[in-house]
Amino acid sequence: MKKLIETIKNIYNITDLRQKILITLGLILIYRLGSFVVLPGVDPAQLDALKSQTSGGLMGLLNMFSGGAFSNASIFALGIMPYISASIVVQLLGMAIPYFQKLQKEGESGRKKINQITRYLTIIITGMQAPGYIANLVNQLPAQAISPFDPAVTSPSTFFWVSSVIILVSGTMFVMWLGERITEKGVGNGISLLIMIGIIANLPMALAAEFVSRLEQEGGGLVIFVLEIVFLIFVILMTILLVQGTRKIPVQFAKRVQGNKQYGGVRQYIPLKVNSAGVMPIIFAQAIMFLPITIAGFTNSESMSGFAATFSNFEGFWYNFTFAIMIILFTYFYTAITVNPTQMAEDMKKNGGFIPGVKPGKKTAQFIDNILSKITLPGSFFLAFVAIMPALVSLIGVNTQFAQFYGGTSLLILVGVVLDTLQQIESHLLMRHYDGLTKSGRIKGRSNMGMGA
């Protein structure tokens, strides 16, 4: 406790760091206030059906990532997820299209062009999602007009549709702007931080609901609730190990003499991550698992509807079994396309480095690839286990909202962003010769993890 108080004092004494934290908190406050500003023409008192719809399943995930703005019919209802979708698309294009590969190699100028393309694609994706959100909103509102606001929605005019689409697109772009300002003026990683804040915003109500349910006559009592919290902490610690876990490969650099100076001759280590793919396999797998539901919506076939029902049951065996298998496969796939052992071996050879006992070149690439495959296997299995954990704890009586914090995308994002933010703050402290947040001074942030949100 004494060290924590001392660290807080040190943070306050660093003017630059103090300003960054205050700016970050101010922008987060704007984001949270915006999530309660309801779309014009919608009566917030009539949103009970929408909130019930977003209590679980796909809608529940979307609502969690938007910090409750989705169920509030807020101007930020679509949140930052269209931007995340656009970023994933651009990232995949960078692996397949030469033009994007060229931009990635152009440094700062290429990065600016990629960011601009991502923004345009975000507008397109949001423009496609906004009408669907409004249509669902209209269907969820009561048919009878109860307040002066109701007629505008129960009998929506063209003006209501157009204005709502514009507001939703503008809301998403504004949230994206807030994230960029946090990255530029605040503690960094603004987009990820906003997603994390949205997820954490649901924690108090979910925790309170679980506490109340356990105190009921058939809830199991306070002991069961305490055991749930202990197990949650255990899962979080295991997830941190997954996120930070690495296998270090020793690299010896040969001695070089130029004039009277000697270079090299030192040993360094290449850290290969246990989870090089980060959260991306879960995101890809979830996107594919939603396809049966989408396809079933365009057909009246009973067999197709039954198939969709099976794979829309988030607590069902076949859904979670298929989901876990796809995560394992995508983990290997994403690791293979993001980590290039051949390029690593070539760079090592150019810099006069070699792995002791392994020939430089092709043999080194094969050695790295072999090690990467061995550590990716347990990493992929544990990632799949974390992904289906919410379904497992739901089966033993944990309410759906609280169960989401036991694993899946939400837990990985929380752990990754918290570690990354702590690393940013610790870097400022260490640069100014203050003690870090830990005794070792080694918090591995997202830059060390290869995670994306």
Residue 178 lies in a domain: no
Residue 309 lies in a domain: yes
Q: Kindly indicate the confidence band of residue 120, based on its pLDDT and cuts at 50, 70 and 90.
A: very high
- 256-258 and 261-263: which strand pairing? antiparallel
Give the integer Cα–Cα distance in Å for 235 and 89: 31
Give the integer Cα–Cα distance in Å for 101 and 417: 27
Mean pLDDT in residue range 19-35: 91
Q: Provide the number of structural domains found in the chain.
A: 1
pLDDT at 115 over 80: yes
Residue 133 lies in a domain: no
Residue 295 lies in a domain: yes
pLDDT at 5 over 70: yes
Mean pLDDT in residue range 326-333: 87
389's CB contacts (< 8 A; 6+ apart) are 235, 406, 407, 408, 411
206's CB contacts (< 8 A; 6+ apart) are 399, 401, 402, 404, 405
Residue 419 lies in a domain: no
Give the integer Cα–Cα distance in Å for 255 and 264: 5
DSSP 146-194: -STTTHHHHTT-HHHHHHHHHHHHHHHHHHHHHHHHHHHHSSS-HHHHH
pLDDT at 339: 82
Residue 439 lies in a domain: no
- 353-354 and 256-258: which strand pairing? unpaired
Tens of pLDDT, residue by residue over 225-262, are: 888 889 888 888 888 888 778 878 777 766 655 555 55
pLDDT at 148: 46
pLDDT at 107: 77
Find the CATH number of the domain harbouring 265. 1.10.3370.10
Give the integer Cα–Cα distance in Å for 241 and 108: 33
Q: Kindly indicate the confidence band of residue 147, based on its pLDDT and cuts at 50, 70 and 90.
A: very low
Instruction: Please state at what angle helix 2-13 crosses helix 15-34, rounded to 10 degrees.
Output: 100
pLDDT at 165: 92
pLDDT at 332: 85
Q: Kindly indicate the confidence band of residue 30, based on its pLDDT and cuts at 50, 70 and 90.
A: very high
Tens of pLDDT, residue by residue over 257-316, are: 555 555 555 677 788 888 887 777 877 777 677 666 556 555 555 555 566 666 666 777
The residue range of the domain holding 270 is: 206-406
pLDDT at 311: 66
Residue 26 lies in a domain: no
Residue 332 lies in a domain: yes
* Mean pLDDT rounded to a whole number for the chain: 78
Q: Select the more confidently predicted residue: 189 or 325.
A: 325
Q: Select the more confidently predicted residue: 279 or 82.
A: 82
